[in-house]
Amino acid sequence: MSPLDDLAELLKELPGEDLPPRPDLFSISGYPHYEDVLSNWYSFFMDPSGLHGLGTMFLDTLVDLANAGKRVRVGKSMSIRREFTTEKGLAVDIIAHDGIEVDGRIGGAENAVIIENKVFHVLNNNLDDYLTSVPNAKKIGIVLCLKARPVGHPQYECITHAALMEAVVAQLPITYPMPEPYRQYLIDLEQNIHLLTENMEITDEVRFYLEHAERIQRVIALEGSLRVYLTTALNTAAQAMQMQLTRNPGRSWYISVHREDRAYVTVLLEDAFTKGTELVIVVEVRDEHELKSSDTRLDSIKGVIGTERQVVHKVDPNGKWIQFAPIRIPLTRERGFDLSKTIEERIKTDLLPVLDAARLAFPQ
C-alpha cells in the first residue's frame, strides 16, 4: 500500500461532524466564557426574590452539592452581592448572605455562601480574605469551576458549573411555572455551560487527531501541493494573457492588467480547497458607490454575456462589488490535463469580452 493509499484509508475513519449548536444569548453577544458575564447570570438566578420564579432553588442546590446543608441555612431573606470589596481591597465574585450591608461592610449575617467563579483562570485567590468579609456567620465557600479539582482550603468546596446546572435543571419538569423569558434564559445558560464543559473533554475529533497526528500533517502538506499547483497554473495563464496575478488574503486571486482596475477577473478557490472539485472564475466590478443587480451601468455587461449563461454570480451585501458571468473549470484527475491552458482559453473565450464591457461601464 502506498503512503497516499494509507492516507485514504485513514480519512475513511474520520469521525462525523455534529450539527453546530443553536445560537444562544452567550454566543450571539460574544461572551461565551467570560467569568464576569457568568457571575452576573448566576447572581440573577440565585436571588430568591428574582423575577425568574425559582426562589432559593439555585442556592439550595449549590449548598446540597457541597454537602453543607447542616452548616448553612439558605432562606428567602438572603441578598446577593456581586463584586463585594473586602477590607484588603479584593473583590469577591458573589456573596449570598442574610445580613445587612452598611458602608460597604456586611453585618448581622447568620448565614453566608461565598462564591468564587472560575472558567479558564488559575485559582490563586485569597480565599481566607473572602471568608472574613462576612464576619460571625455560618458560612461555606464554593469554587465554581469547569473541572473538579482540589481547592486547598478546608472551608471551600469545588463544584463544577455542569454539576450545578444539571442538578437545577433536574428539578424543573416541563410543567414548572417559570415565566418567560426567564425559562429561555435558563436554557441558554445551561447550553453555554454544557458547551464550555464539553470543550474540556477529549472529543472523538481530538482523540482521532492525537492518534493520527503524523499522517494528518501529511494531509496538510498535500493541501500545500494543491496550492502550488493552482498558483503555477494561474500564473502561467496570466502571463500568457499579459496580465498579472494578485493574491487576495482570502481564498481567491485576481487577474488584471492593472491592480487599480475597477473591473478584473477573480478566481474563487473555495470549492477547489474544500471539495477538490472546480475553479470558479468570474468578472468582478468594484465601485465606491453602492452597487446593485439593477444598476443601469451593468446593462451593457449583461448584453455581452447573453441569455444562455447565468449573469450575476454574487453581490456584496454592502454594495461594494458584484460578480458576473461565472465559468467553472473542473479539476480533472486525468493525466495530461493542462490546467493553465484551459484557464487561459476559457478566460479569453468567455470572460474577456465581459471584462472589456465592464471596463467601459466602469472607467478609471
pLDDT tens, residue by residue, 185-243: 998 899 888 888 876 666 677 778 878 888 888 888 888 888 889 889 999 999 999 88
- Tell me what pLDDT residue 256 has: 67
Strand locations in the chain (E): 79-85, 91-97, 100-102, 105-107, 111-117, 138-145, 156-160, 244-247, 252-256, 263-268, 278-286, 312-315, 321-330
pLDDT at 9: 83
Residue 52 confidence (pLDDT): 93
pLDDT at 257: 58
Residue 159: what pLDDT?
94
C-alpha cell at 115: 462564591
pLDDT at 164 over 90: yes
Rounded to an integer, what is the distance from CA 346 to the centroid of its chain?
A: 39
Query: What pLDDT is attached to residue 123?
Result: 79
Model pLDDT, residue 125? 82
Name residue, grid cell 485576481.
Answer: 254
Q: Model pTM?
A: 0.57
pLDDT, tens digit, 9 for 90 and up, residues 169-187: 999 887 788 889 898 999 8
